[in-house]
């Protein structure tokens, strides 16, 4: 692995976009996601944790980003900032196409527990067991959140016209 002095820089270069996307999935706000990303790497820089490998480091970074996103959602500032509907498209700096951005916005608008699980499962490729460890929840809970999140996401996508509902 890399020496402690350069760990934060190495991690930022390797996992910066991943942490930013995780923070955005939690907050639905690019400016807040950028702030959280900075905080995550500052915490890493001052952390005394030892990491076994890159996957351990990545899991730690995502865990800190998700927890920071949770804290943001609980904060007074969250209730006083604009909703995702009011975010200017020019502020959306993720490297997704406009259709992907719309889907990411819909995912981010889901309840936090569902958006986080969907992000970790589909975008980051983690297994249910790994997500359960990251979020300190049981595998059954994560599976339920994933299933419910998919249903909510499908309903939202149908409302937006991404899916055509089949005739009843």
End-to-end Cα spacing for the chain: 57
Q: What's the CA gap between 137 and 45, in Å, rounded?
A: 27
Which homologous superfamily is 4-159 in? PhyR, sigma-like (SL) domain (1.20.140.160)
Residue by residue, DSSP assigns 101-122 as HHHHHHHHHS-HHHHHHHIIII
Comparing CA positions, the residue from 120, 144, 122 lying closest to residue 133 is 120
pLDDT at 164: 60
pTM: 0.59
Domain chopping of the chain, boundaries: 4-159
- The answer to whether the CB of 26 falls within 8 A of the CB of 120 is no
The model's confidence at residue 11, banded by pLDDT at 50, 70 and 90, is very high
Task: Return the top range by mean pLDDT from 16-25, 35-44, 110-119, 158-167.
Answer: 35-44
Q: What's the CA gap between 71 and 117, in Å, rounded?
A: 17
The model's confidence at residue 16, banded by pLDDT at 50, 70 and 90, is very high
pLDDT at 92: 40
- The answer to whether the CB of 22 falls within 8 A of the CB of 119 is yes
């Amino acid at each position: 692995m890399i020496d402690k002095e350069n760990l934060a820089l190495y991690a930022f270069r390797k996992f910066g976009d991943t942490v930013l996307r995780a923070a955005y999935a939690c907050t639905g706000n690019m400016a807040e996601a950028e702030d959280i990303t900075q905080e995550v790497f500052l915490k890493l820089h001052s952390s005394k944790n030892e990491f076994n490998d890159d996957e351990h480091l990545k899991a730690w970074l995502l865990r800190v980003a998700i927890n920071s996103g949770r804290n943001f959602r609980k904060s007074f500032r969250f209730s006083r900032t604009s909703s995702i509907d009011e975010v200017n498209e020019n502020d959306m700096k993720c490297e997704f196409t406009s259709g992907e951005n719309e889907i990411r916005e819909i995912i981010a608008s889901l309840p936090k527990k569902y958006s986080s699980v969907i992000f970790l499962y589909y975008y980051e490729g983690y297994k249910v067991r790994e997500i359960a460890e990251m979020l300190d929840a049981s595998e059954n809970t994560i599976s339920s959140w994933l299933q419910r999140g998919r249903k909510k996401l499908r309903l939202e996508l149908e409302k937006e016209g991404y899916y055509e509902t089949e005739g009843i």
